[in-house]
Amino acid sequence: MNIQKRLLLLITILLFNSCYSRASSAENISDQQTQTSPTLIPTLSAPNEYLGLKYLPLPSSIKTSMGQAISPASSQPWSIDAVADRNNYMLWFSKVVSYDQNGKPYSQVSDVAILPPTAKDKKIVVSACLLEGVLDPEIVVLAKVDEESLAKRYLLNPNIFLAWKANRSTGKLEPISTERIECYAETLLGY
């Protein structure tokens, strides 16, 4: 009986150590990945209530809105709108589908990206970012704008948290890596 208790205790200790070392290894791997990769990809899906929405004016459920056209303008203008409702901070990727009698555009939401709650403290840059030193007007980023960035009117890569390709061919906001992206800090959208 004494041998069985010792054997059971030994097995219990070995199992506990095995589980603990696996958890520690997983935490270390996760920490290493977090430290080496500045890329954060949004994973929240868009609320269907806004997809396909045609607006002029905005729905009453929208509390905040600032927008900017994607340059250079194509035959069918597109824009990025920073909007917020009761529950979410969002980016709307919209295209102009018609104009009223006074020339004001009616836009239609083609895609929506839900932003993390921390977006309230960040700024959105549209059509002013460089990928590997080349201007790409379809890159949209969520960035921290500090005093140095404002003074230099330029955002270095460590300040960029999320990035998308506003693909006018597909009408989708495609999450992309933030690596090798820097932006001019001329026109900033916020909440």
Note the pLDDT tens digit of each residue in 87-143.
Answer: 889 999 999 999 899 988 899 999 999 999 888 889 999 999 999 999 999 999 999
**29-33, 39-43, 73-77, 182-186: which has the highest mean pLDDT?**
182-186
Q: How far apart are CA 12 and CA 25, in angstroms?
A: 20
Domain hosting 141: range is: 54-184
Q: Is residue 136 part of a domain?
A: yes
Q: Is residue 13 part of a domain?
A: no
Q: Is residue 167 part of a domain?
A: yes
Nearest to 112 by CA among 45, 41, 190, 39: 45
Q: Is residue 190 part of a domain?
A: no
Q: What are phi and psi of 12, to 5 degrees?
A: -60, -45
Q: Is residue 61 part of a domain?
A: yes
How many domains does the chain contain in total?
1
* The pLDDT value given to residue 75: 72
- Is residue 58 predicted with pLDDT exceeding 70? yes
Omega within 30 of 0 (cis) for the link into 105: no
**Residues with Cβ < 8 Å from 38, sequence gap 6 or more?**
157, 158, 160, 178, 179
Q: Is residue 173 part of a domain?
A: yes
Q: Is residue 49 part of a domain?
A: no
Lay out the sheet containing 139-143: strands in order across.
Answer: 123-126, 139-143, 160-167, 172-176
Q: What are phi and psi of 23, to 5 degrees?
A: -65, -40
* The pLDDT value given to residue 6: 54
State the first-to-last Cα distance of the chain, in angstroms, to the nearest integer.
70
Q: Is residue 105 part of a domain?
A: yes
* The pLDDT value given to residue 14: 41
- Is residue 46 predicted with pLDDT exceeding 90? no
